[in-house]
Structure 1
Amino acid sequence: MEIHIRPARPNDHEALTKISFASKRHWNDPESYYRVWKDELTITSRYILENRVYVAETVGKPIGYFSIVEVKKDFHAGKVLVRKGFWLEHLFLLPAYIGKGIGTRLMHFAETYCRKEGIPSLYIFSDPHANGFYDKMGAAYLRESPSSIEGRTVSVYKYRIAQ
């Protein structure tokens, strides 16, 4: 399967939103979670224009994407402390493509991008289902953080970019 990675275009927003929700639903979380995650998982044209978003596609069809967001100063989002720095905010694949090495290819692409841009590391809020992936990629586990879902936590990782 040939995979091409390209910058996202503003008109990709609907396809990327569908990928976000489909990828999360792969883990069969309670339906109530998706109401809380609605804004987090919805990708807008503006989001694409304001952040670094890259799409993985095969035969011209988007199958996954990642985004890197720069946070200019520490802030709290509810109970969650978001630190200043660069964040891998999203990395999602359509469920049919999970476990086929495409996430790894996206991470390597992100790493190459960061190296070219002088970005030394990426912070990651990892869904519990994705911790094994980030462990395999060599990201350093930092701590647990409250999630946007009451009573749930997410892991915080730091992925250092080899220079």
Structure 2
Amino acid sequence: MIIEKANPEDAKILTEITFDGKAFWGFSKAELSEWTELLTISPDYITENCVYKLILNSEIAGYYSYIMINESEIKLDNLFLFQKYIGKGFGKLMMEDFLKKAKNLKQKIIILDSEPNAENFYKKFGFITFDKKESVIKNRFLAKMKLILPLQYDNK
């Protein structure tokens, strides 16, 4: 298992992972097709943001991406796996990798907008829900979540 930086050439497979992972929550093909623009990972997105892929047995199984908001805040923008890998601990591995990167970047706050079905996953890592945001589906809300990272002290 390897987690490494994604390349623009990975855009198609990362988009497939996004659609497959989103479908895990029971959304219909019609609903998913309405969200094509929102769920598509473009080569430009990969070039402009921090995108990391999880490779298992030479196959890209999942990915996560984050956006630097400012010098102290970072946003986890995506975290998706192919359905066949959900529930096997790989999401936790990607999340731990992301949190390590955020701490190394000396970020103080991590924010994210959570799929309602995934909210408890993020709570396991200490995220708290502080607000709700209406999704593109009327009367359906995403959890706005945040995690305040512990202060890192220099022992010099």
TM-score, length basis structure 2: 0.89
CA distance in 1, matches of 2:138, 2:33: 13
Q: CA deviation at 1:60?
A: 1.6
Q: Find out whether 1:24 has 2:22 as its counterpart.
A: yes
| Aligned residue identity for 2:78 | H
Identify if the C-alpha distance between structure 1 residues 150 and 35 changes in structure 2 by more than 3 Å, giving closer, same or farther.
farther
CA distance in 1, matches of 2:58, 2:14: 14
Correspondent of 1:63 among 61, 67, 73: 61
Gaps of 5+ in 1: 73-83
Runs of 4+ in 1 over 3 A off after TM superposition: none
The aligned residue for residue 151 of structure 1 is: 139
Pairing 1:3-42 to 2, within 5 Å after superposition: 3-42=1-40
Q: Find out whether 1:126 has 2:114 as its counterpart.
A: yes
Q: Percent identity at matched positions?
A: 31
2:110–2:147 CA contact under 8 A, matched in 1: yes
Pairing 1:41-120 to 2, within 5 Å after superposition: 41-71=39-69, 85-120=73-108
Q: CA deviation at 1:85?
A: 4.1
1:10–1:46 CA contact under 8 A, matched in 2: yes
* Partner secondary structure for residue 108 of structure 1: helix
Gaps of 5+ in 2: none
CA distance in 1, matches of 2:115, 2:44: 24
Q: CA deviation at 1:136?
A: 1.2
CA distance in 2, matches of 1:31, 1:95: 15
* Partner secondary structure for residue 68 of structure 2: strand
Q: CA deviation at 1:90?
A: 0.4
CA distance in 2, matches of 1:121, 1:101: 24
CA distance in 2, matches of 1:42, 1:152: 21
Alignment RMSD (CA, Å): 1.6
CA distance in 2, matches of 1:97, 1:45: 24
Deviates more, 1:140-149 or 1:50-59: 140-149
CA distance in 2, matches of 1:37, 1:70: 24
1:124–1:159 CA contact under 8 A, matched in 2: no
CA distance in 2, matches of 1:27, 1:71: 28
Q: Find out whether 1:136 has 2:124 as its counterpart.
A: yes
* Partner secondary structure for residue 61 of structure 2: strand
